[in-house]
Chain A
Amino acid sequence: MKIKPLLLNSMIAVAISGAPASAEDQLVIGYAAAVTGSLAPYDSPAGVTCRVEQINEAGGILGKPVKLIIRDTKSDAVTASNVGQELLDQGANVILGPPTDDGLIPIAQLALPKGIPVLSVGATQPAFPVASPENGYLVPFGDNASAAGAAEVAYKAGHRKAILMIANDVGAYSAITPEYFGKAFEKLGGKIVGRVNYHHGLADYNTQVAEIRNNAEKPDMIFAAILVPDAGVLVRTINAAGLDIPVYGTDGFDDPSFIEVAGAGAGLATFVTHGYPSEGSPLKAFYDDCTKRGHNPQNIFFGLGGEAVEVVKAAIESANSFDPPAINAAIKNIENLKGITTGSITYKDRGGVPLKEMTVMHAKDGKVLPVETVRPSWVAAP
Chain B
Amino acid sequence: MMSDYALQQAFNALSVGGEYALLALGLAIVFSVMHLVNFAHGDMITVGGYAMFLLIMFGVRDPFLVLPFGVLVTVLAALLIERVAFKPVRGASPTTGMLTAFGVSIIIQNVALIFGGSRPKAVPTADWLASSLSIGSVQIPVVQVLETIVTLAAIIGLVALMRYTTVGLAMRAAAKDVPVVRLMGVKADRVILSAFAISGFLAGLAGIFILARRGAVDPFMGFAPVLKAFVAAVLGGFGSLPGAVVGGFALGIAEVALQVLLPPEIAGFRDAFVFLLIGIVLVFRPQGILGERPDFGEKS
Interface residues of A (CB under 8 A from B): 36-38, 40-41, 166-169, 194-197, 199-204, 206-208, 210-211, 213-214, 228-230, 232-233, 236-237, 239-242, 255-257, 260-265, 298
Show 26 A/B contacts (Cβ-Cβ < 8 Å), sorted by A. Answer: A41-B119, A169-B271, A194-B264, A197-B267, A199-B270, A200-B224, A202-B19, A202-B210, A203-B213, A206-B16, A207-B16, A207-B260, A211-B260, A214-B1, A229-B215, A230-B214, A237-B213, A240-B132, A257-B119, A257-B120, A260-B122, A261-B122, A262-B215, A263-B124, A263-B125, A298-B119
Given A41-B118, A239-B130: A210 and B9 interface contact (C-beta under 8 Å)? yes
Is residue B139 within 8 Å, beta carbon to beta carbon, of the partner chain? yes
Is residue B41 within 8 Å, beta carbon to beta carbon, of the partner chain? no
Interface residues of B (CB under 8 A from A): 1, 5, 8-9, 12, 15-16, 19, 113, 117-122, 124-125, 127, 130-132, 134, 139, 141-144, 210, 213-216, 218, 220, 223-225, 228, 255-256, 259-260, 262, 264, 267-268, 270-271
A197 touches which one: B12, B16, B139, B264 (CB < 8 A)? B264
B8 touches which one: A38, A201, A213 (CB < 8 A)? A213
Asked if A206 and B220 make an inter-chain contact with CB atoms under 8 angstroms apart, the answer reads: no
Shortest CB-to-CB span from A45 to chain B, Å, is 12
Q: From A239, which residue of chain B is reached at the shortest CB distance? A: B130
Q: What CA separation (Å) do A197 and B264 show in the bound complex?
A: 6
B268 touches which one: A37, A169, A204, A237 (CB < 8 A)? A169
Shortest CB-to-CB span from B9 to chain A, Å, is 5
Asked if B5 and A213 make an inter-chain contact with CB atoms under 8 angstroms apart, the answer reads: yes
Given A210-B8, A230-B214, A232-B215: A242 and B118 interface contact (C-beta under 8 Å)? no
Q: What CA separation (Å) do A167 and B124 show in the bound complex?
A: 25
Q: What CA separation (Å) do A196 and B256 show in the bound complex?
A: 13
Asked if A203 and B210 make an inter-chain contact with CB atoms under 8 angstroms apart, the answer reads: yes
Given A37-B118, A233-B213: A197 and B259 interface contact (C-beta under 8 Å)? yes
Contacts of B141 in A (CB 8 A): 206, 237, 240-241
Besides A166-B264, A207-B260, 17 more A-B contacts (Cβ < 8 Å) are A166-B268, A169-B268, A194-B264, A201-B224, A202-B225, A204-B12, A207-B9, A210-B5, A214-B8, A228-B120, A232-B122, A233-B214, A236-B215, A240-B130, A260-B124, A260-B216, A264-B127
* Smallest CB-CB A-B distances: 10 pairs: A201-B224, A260-B122, A203-B214, A229-B216, A197-B267, A261-B215, A40-B118, A168-B268, A257-B122, A195-B264
Q: What CA separation (Å) do A230 and B216 show in the bound complex?
A: 9
